[in-house]
């Protein structure tokens, strides 16, 4: 019995799906980035080598987080949130102080740069899970439950908007409100907040001219070849793929037609090389991972574990759906990566960390079942 319990310590499907998707991501990253890498650096493996290092780091942290009791995170929830907010505050300051231009989303730390918004997103999930667990039924109270959480979510969103990174901030706000809804806040409180925040967010979105052009182009109100180019090439790429694709490595659009095909639009290359069938199978794998996360949340040993698991899988799936929607022109271009597939360091590492936490919650559930079965066995004997 004990050997069976040991081999089934973690949710097997979650582990297999995670590393299966990472493997697909590495293959598709090399396929989509080789031509761009040669053009920019002369080394066709430039992006691949950097991504493998990030995956190895993320995998190591996933293993560590899967072994550490997730309950410890509850005690650090406030400090993690404060630390992430501090990093969000200093990031644009450091960016402009060092003569940086454009968006200040990256914080240089020695030889590397990190994106604090990824840390902030995971920190907010942990904080809200602990907050909902602590408040319990009081979350239905406007002043003692709902508003303090909304203030925290709003402050985090504001700091990310100031970078500026509106799409990340919007998805973080959606994630926060989803967790509050799952935590049992009153519908009228959410409705009132939506009535106030949606017009405000719309105003913030259209203040920046480039965001306004994207929206107008998406709605067909104006003709902007520059704004339309990337999404047009993405649709051509998907169309080239047909049902079964052109074959791995045979994409035409990645040959300097589709800009940065290894980042936010890697799903278009998946569709071109592996076809509609391959793209759908990839989405099915993500939905399967989401379903396993829901099962882990439902069977979690406590409310904190349940809310933590729900936050992790809803965050993951939101990014997947928004990325696929952008690539297929269901949504306007947002710059949201495809988790575990797109090129990127901070997002990959923190996604793997969050999945490591999810695995630890599944492990705690299995240990609880083992202990309960052991007690029953002793009682029968």
Residue 380 within any structural domain of the chain: no
For residue 114, list its beta bridge partners. 107
Domain total of the chain: 1
Domain that holds residue 221: 2-374
Q: What is the pLDDT at residue 227?
A: 81
Q: What is the pLDDT along the chain (381 residues), one digit of tens a residue?
A: 333 333 348 899 999 999 999 999 999 999 999 999 999 999 999 999 999 999 999 999 999 999 999 999 999 999 999 999 999 999 999 888 877 666 778 898 877 889 999 999 999 999 999 999 999 999 999 999 999 999 999 999 999 999 889 999 999 999 999 999 999 999 999 999 999 999 999 999 989 888 888 899 988 888 888 888 999 999 999 999 999 999 999 999 998 899 989 999 999 999 999 999 999 999 999 999 999 999 999 999 999 999 999 999 999 999 999 999 999 999 999 889 999 999 998 999 999 999 999 999 999 876 665 455 544 455 555
Structural domain includes residue 195:
yes
Residues 160, 154: Cα–Cα separation, whole Å: 10
Q: What share of the chain is helix, strand, coil (3-state, %, to 5)?
A: 75, 0, 25
Helix, strand, or coil (residue 264): coil
Q: Residue 3 has which token pair?
A: 């050997």
> Domain for residue 381, yes or no?
no
Q: What is the dihedral of CA 27, 165, 347, 20, to 10 degrees?
A: -50
Residue 58 and residue 357 in contact, taking contact as beta carbons nearer than 8 Å: no
> Between 46-67 and 12-41, two packed helices, what is the crossing angle to 10 degrees?
160
The torsion defined by the Cα of 96, 99, 105 and 108, in degrees rounded to 10, comes to -110
Residue 56, both tokens: 């190895």
For tokens 């985090």, the residue is 156
**Is 352 a member of any domain?**
yes
Report pLDDT for 225.
82
Does the residue 72 lie in any domain? yes
Mutual angle of helices 187-207 and 209-218, in 10-degree steps: 110
From the list 104, 84, 108, the residue with the least C-alpha distance to 93 is: 104
Question: pLDDT tens across 112-122, in order?
Answer: 889 999 999 99
pTM as predicted: 0.93
**Mean pLDDT estimate for the chain:** 91
- CA neighbor of 260 nearest in space, from 169, 164, 170, 338: 338
């Amino acid at each position: 019995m004990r050997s069976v319990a040991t081999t089934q310590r973690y949710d097997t499907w979650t582990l297999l799906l995670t590393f299966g998707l990472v493997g697909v991501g590495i293959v598709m990253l090399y396929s989509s980035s080789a031509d761009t890498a040669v053009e920019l650096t002369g080394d066709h493996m430039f992006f691949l080598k950097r991504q493998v290092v990030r995956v190895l780091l993320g995998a190591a942290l996933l293993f560590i987080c899967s072994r550490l009791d997730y309950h410890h995170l509850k005690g650090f929830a406030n400090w993690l949130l404060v630390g992430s907010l501090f990093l969000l505050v200093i990031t644009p300051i450091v960016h402009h102080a060092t003569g940086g231009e454009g968006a200040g989303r990256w914080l240089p730390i020695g030889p590397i740069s990190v994106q604090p918004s990824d840390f902030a997103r995971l920190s907010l999930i942990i904080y809200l899970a602990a907050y909902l667990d602590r408040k319990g039924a009081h979350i239905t109270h406007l002043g003692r439950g709902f508003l303090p959480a909304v203030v925290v979510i709003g402050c985090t969103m504001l700091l990310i908007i100031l970078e500026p990174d509106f799409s990340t901030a919007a998805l973080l706000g959606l994630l926060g409100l989803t967790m509050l809804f799952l935590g049992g806040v009153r519908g009228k409180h959410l409705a009132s907040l939506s009535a106030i925040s949606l017009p405000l967010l719309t105003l913030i979105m259209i203040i920046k001219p480039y965001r306004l052009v994207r929206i107008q182009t998406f709605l067909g109100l104006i003709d902007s070849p520059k704004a339309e180019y990337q999404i047009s090439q993405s649709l051509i790429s998907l169309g080239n793929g047909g049902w079964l694709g052109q074959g791995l490595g045979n994409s035409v659009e990645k040959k300097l037609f589709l800009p940065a095909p290894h980042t936010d639009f890697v799903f278009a290359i998946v569709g071109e090389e592996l076809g509609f069938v391959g793209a759908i199978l990839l989405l099915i794998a993500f939905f399967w991972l989401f379903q396993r996360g829901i099962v882990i949340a439902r069977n979690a040993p406590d409310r904190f574990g349940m809310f933590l698991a729900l936050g992790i899988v809803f965050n993951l799936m939101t990014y997947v759906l928004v990325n696929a929607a952008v690539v297929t022109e269901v949504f306007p271009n947002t710059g949201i990566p495809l988790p575990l597939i797109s090129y990127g360091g901070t997002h990959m590492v923190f996604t793997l960390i969050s999945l490591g936490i999810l695995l630890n919650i599944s492990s705690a559930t299995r240990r609880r079942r083992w202990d309960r079965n052991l007690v029953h066995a002793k009682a029968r004997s």
